[in-house]
Amino acid sequence: MKAHGGKLLFAGAVCLAAASLVFGCRKSPQDLAEQKAIERHEQEVNHRNALMKEIKTLDTDRISRGANFLGMLHDTGRLPGFPKGKDGQLRLDKLPTVSPNGPYYWSLELRAITKETPPRHFHYLLVQTYSNSDFQLQKSWRTDDAGKVVEEFPIVPAPKMASARRQFLGPANSGAESEFGSWYNGALGGGFVATDTDDPASGLSYFRIGITNAASYPVNHADLRSVMFPLGRPGKNHGRFTFSFTYKLPEAVKPGDNIEVNLRFFDESETNFLGQKTILVGSSSADSEMTDYKTIATNNIVAPDGAAKADVWVVANIFDPWTSGAAQFDDFSVTTE
């Protein structure tokens, strides 16, 4: 099965490798060798049968999506360690782990093996914070042929599950791990929107939005908007929502400057705007020249009557002035119990 772009491949649907442990007792060298061969064969057969039994219960679609996520990172040159332009093969060495109570709902370790002589082995631990949230890289390292770690690649860990009772609703690609996938962006004049990898709050990437000059608004502006996501089954009474995100304003924020972050509500048709929750970051949040990311989590948000879908909309220099450089955003999340 091809991963995204056809660069990284599964060997078959899922390639499983497992080590067998062989135990013996004191006998003649010939008897011992024969017994070990028999035990090794029996253990391999038993282990293969056990793996095949377990593989039937695996969420193979989720595994494939995880492999495609790594393929996308490879194709965009953002797969840690793996040489750019090289082809490889993905291998599943361990069964995925499901932990409904967290800190991550699902985790999967895949090995990417380069198609060269000698091959190099790169390992990637993928996690999903909630059952339906995005994939993020949690750990990455390289081993030699014997499995010894020879190099580790720094990755900022993904946010942990807030509560096992909460459900992730959106937005998709909440931390720019797929660059602008599932997001719209626009800019006018000196406005800009981008994704970068040099300073994420978690994972590999983050969003940047801002103004490149000091002109007054709204001549120069920029905005970033997620694809709409459902708030639950149509016709169902929605509970209270939590809207959270991380941000960093690395430059000096001028008095009165703010970036506006909105959680907007719409009806089922996606055409009728019903209301929004607005959060201002910058002068209103007393932030300036930040060296670390900060997380805002707004709880107990009640959707307007008739709301069925929502989106996240980040705007710079449209409704409030913003001429204070680039603002960084990561890990948008809307959850409900």
Q: Tens digits of per-residue pLDDT, 261-289?
A: 999 999 999 999 999 999 999 999 999 99
What average pLDDT is seen over the chain?
Answer: 85
Q: Which residues contact 238 (CB under 8 A, 6 or more apart)?
A: 231, 232, 303, 307, 336
| Lookup: tokens for 295 | 């997380």
Residue 87 domain-assigned?
yes
Residue 265 domain-assigned?
yes
| Burial (CB count <10 Å: 0-12, 13-18, 19+), residue 314 | buried
**pLDDT higher than 70, residue 22:** no
Distance of CA 248 to the CA centre of its chain: 19
Closest by alpha carbon to 75, among 91, 86, 61?
86
Q: Which of 126, 154, 182 is the last residue of a domain?
A: 154
Residue 159 domain-assigned?
no
Q: Do the Cβ atoms of 99 and 107 come closer than 8 Å?
A: yes
For the entire predicted model, the pTM comes to 0.80
pLDDT of residue 85: 83
Same domain, 313 and 217: yes
Query: 170 φ, ψ to 5°?
Result: 165, -175
For residues 181 and 177, what is the distance between their CA atoms, to the nearest angstrom?
Answer: 8
Tell me 5's DSSP state: G
Q: Which residues pair with 265 in a beta bridge?
A: 275, 310
Q: Which of 132, 154, 176 is the last residue of a domain?
A: 154
Same domain, 180 and 65: no
Same domain, 134 and 208: no
Residue 100 domain-assigned?
yes
With cut-offs at 50, 70 and 90, classify the pLDDT of residue 20.
Answer: very low
51: left (phi over 0), alpha (psi -120 to 50) or beta: alpha
Residue 116 domain-assigned?
yes
Same domain, 134 and 204: no
Bond from prior residue into 171 cis (ω within 30 degrees of 0) = yes
Tell me 31's DSSP state: H
Give the pLDDT mean for 310-324. Answer: 93
CA-CA distances (angstroms) from residue 248 to 125, 137, 190?
26, 21, 20
Residue 160 domain-assigned?
no
Cα dihedral sign for 176, 180, 182, 187? positive
CATH of the domain at 265: 2.60.120.260
Same domain, 221 and 330: yes
Same domain, 108 and 187: no
**pLDDT higher than 60, residue 208:** yes
Q: Which residues pair with 187 in a beta bridge?
A: 222
Same domain, 240 and 138: no
Same domain, 150 and 209: no
Residue 286 domain-assigned?
yes
For the chain, the domain total comes to 2
Which residues span the domain enclosing 315? 168-336
**pLDDT higher than 50, residue 21:** no
**pLDDT higher than 70, residue 1:** no
For residues 136 and 128, what is the distance between their CA atoms, to the nearest angstrom?
Answer: 7
Same domain, 124 and 233: no
Angle at 205 between CA 202 and CA 208, to 5 degrees: 110
pLDDT tens digits along 60-76:
889 999 999 999 999 99
Same domain, 184 and 131: no
Higher pLDDT, 164 or 283: 283
Same domain, 8 and 111: yes
Same domain, 324 and 211: yes
Residue 74 domain-assigned?
yes
Q: Do the Cβ atoms of 311 and 264 come closer than 8 Å?
A: yes
Residues 201-232, buried b or exposed e (16+ Cβ, 10 A)? bbbbbbbbbbbeeeeebeebbbbbbbebbebb
Q: Which of 154, 180, 199 is the last residue of a domain?
A: 154
